[in-house]
Amino acid sequence: MDTVSPVAPPHQEASSPQLKITSAKTLAESTNLASIPSHYAFTTPTSGDQAVHPDHDDSIPVIDFSLLSSSNPDQRCKAVSDLAKACEDWGIFMLINHGVPESQMKATVDVLMGFFDLTEERKNEFQGKHLLDPIMYGTSFRASVDKVFLWRDFLKMMVYPKFHCPPKPEGMSEVLAEYTGKLRKLARELLKGVSESLGLGPGYIDEAMNIDSSLQILAANLYPPCPQPELAVGLPSHSDIGLLTILMQNDIGGLQVHHGGKWVKVDPIPNAFVVNTADQLEIMSNGKYKSALHRAVVNNKTTRISIPFSTGPSLDTVVVPAEQLVDGKHNQATDISMNYKEYMEFKQSTVLHKGLCLNQVKI
């Protein structure tokens, strides 16, 4: 279920430098598009892949951030144990009462939508060549080598330790600097709770992961309406690379998480963030908190935007399992001894379409 394979023959032209790659947005806006080009069609359809709504008695956990940051020890203690359960059972939760104003969330969605509305020429100035380019605009995953294209356009920016952002549209830089500043504080507090929830004391992750010089990336995924959503894929099954991802989305569903052997729909809750555990947290927790497998499907009605904010260790941190969590049961998959930069390069060089997870990264 985690693998998606192309129905079309490998898209020969895609790897040729002469090919003019079209964004999903431009394609979606071309008149009379009744069906998708064959190089967007997957044999394993995602939306038809029996994704379910969560059960009443097994629903996606909700964490109240105001309780996690409460000065009342009982409230905090309960919030930390809820967090432990959410990370262990699901690897994904909704975060409410997080203190980021609704107006700021909306302004962030608006400026990023505005970026995708720029001309292709302007956006293509940010076509990145290398994973560690500070700003990268593109379509699919890596359109120059992808065999089957994903129905999404994206923009990725490194926002910490140094803040990077395209200068256009006007005002985007200010809005995103403010938003990512807030998320940086939120991520740090959340990681304190996560650290405590692992029995490590609130400062362990902060120190061991060098959060002071944490690599933080803000991305935006644009999924335009798609005439054949059951054939196309937004993002195939994958896990995220950092420690935690805090995702904001407009009110259009599409995100799904793998839980209990099924794909479960993550229905948006207004003004809530979706937080998921990522690879470096799996490594440092010695596999106690698994990096959540998730994917995004597309729809034929409305443009969906998702805005993930990834917090990782610093680029030179070699993440290893916390000694207290090894306890004789050493989880082999977490034995990878690469620094974060090498891990990123390694993961990017393998094909996302294979539903890569940590076990496959093990060397």
Residues that bind ligand OGA (CB under 6 A): 219, 221, 235, 240, 254-255, 294, 296, 306, 308
Smaller CB separation from Ni ion, 146 or 240: 240
Q: Which tokens belong to 109?
A: 């969605």
Contacts with 283 (C-beta within 8 Å, 6 or more apart), sequence order: 319, 320, 321, 334, 336, 358
CA angle 348, 145, 5 (to 5 degrees): 85
Which of ligand OGA, Ni ion, none has residue 219 at its interface (CB below 5 to 8 Å by kind)?
ligand OGA
We find the least distance from the C-beta atom of residue 74 to ligand OGA, in angstroms, to be: 35
Q: Which helix (H) or strand (E) holds 152?
A: none
DSSP 83: H
**Cα–Cα distance measured from residue 166 to residue 100, given in angstroms and rounded to the nearest whole number:** 23
Binding piece for Ni ion, criterion CB under 5 A, among 4-12, 150-158, 201-209, 240-248: 240-248
We find the least distance from the C-beta atom of residue 309 to Ni ion, in angstroms, to be: 11
Q: Does the footprint of Ni ion cover residue 282 (CB under 5 A)? A: no
Site size toward Ni ion (CB under 5 A) is: 1
Beta strand 216-223 with 153-160 is antiparallel
We find the least distance from the C-beta atom of residue 151 to ligand OGA, in angstroms, to be: 11
Smaller CB separation from ligand OGA, 306 or 311: 306
We find the least distance from the C-beta atom of residue 117 to ligand OGA, in angstroms, to be: 19
Smaller CB separation from Ni ion, 79 or 244: 244
Smaller CB separation from ligand OGA, 68 or 255: 255
Q: Does the footprint of Ni ion cover residue 240 (CB under 5 A)? A: yes
Tell me the residue number closest to ligand OGA, measured at CB: 306
We find the least distance from the C-beta atom of residue 8 to ligand OGA, in angstroms, to be: 23
Smaller CB separation from ligand OGA, 225 or 308: 308
Smaller CB separation from ligand OGA, 308 or 355: 308
**Cα–Cα distance measured from residue 76 to residue 69, given in angstroms and rounded to the nearest whole number:** 7
Q: Which residue has the tokens 């200068």?
A: 167
**Cα–Cα distance measured from residue 146 to residue 164, given in angstroms and rounded to the nearest whole number:** 26
Distances (CA, A) of 244 to 40, 77, 208, 289: 30, 21, 15, 11
Q: Does the footprint of Ni ion cover residue 279 (CB under 5 A)? A: no
Which of Ni ion, ligand OGA, none has residue 282 at its interface (CB below 5 to 8 Å by kind)?
none
We find the least distance from the C-beta atom of residue 150 to ligand OGA, in angstroms, to be: 10
Q: Which of 13, 25, 35 is closest to 152 using CA atoms?
A: 25
**Cα–Cα distance measured from residue 194 to residue 325, given in angstroms and rounded to the nearest whole number:** 14
Smaller CB separation from ligand OGA, 8 or 351: 351
**Cα–Cα distance measured from residue 268 to residue 251, given in angstroms and rounded to the nearest whole number:** 6
Which of Ni ion, ligand OGA, none has residue 255 at its interface (CB below 5 to 8 Å by kind)?
ligand OGA
Buried-exposed string 6-30: b where 16+ CB fall within 10 A, e elsewhere:
beeeebeebeeeeeebbbbbebbee
We find the least distance from the C-beta atom of residue 16 to ligand OGA, in angstroms, to be: 27
We find the least distance from the C-beta atom of residue 296 to ligand OGA, in angstroms, to be: 4
Contacts with 303 (C-beta within 8 Å, 6 or more apart), sequence order: 113, 222, 223, 224, 225, 252
Binding piece for Ni ion, criterion CB under 5 A, among 4-12, 65-73, 237-245, 316-324: 237-245
Smaller CB separation from ligand OGA, 192 or 294: 294
Q: Could you list the residues that contact Ni ion (CB under 5 A)? A: 240
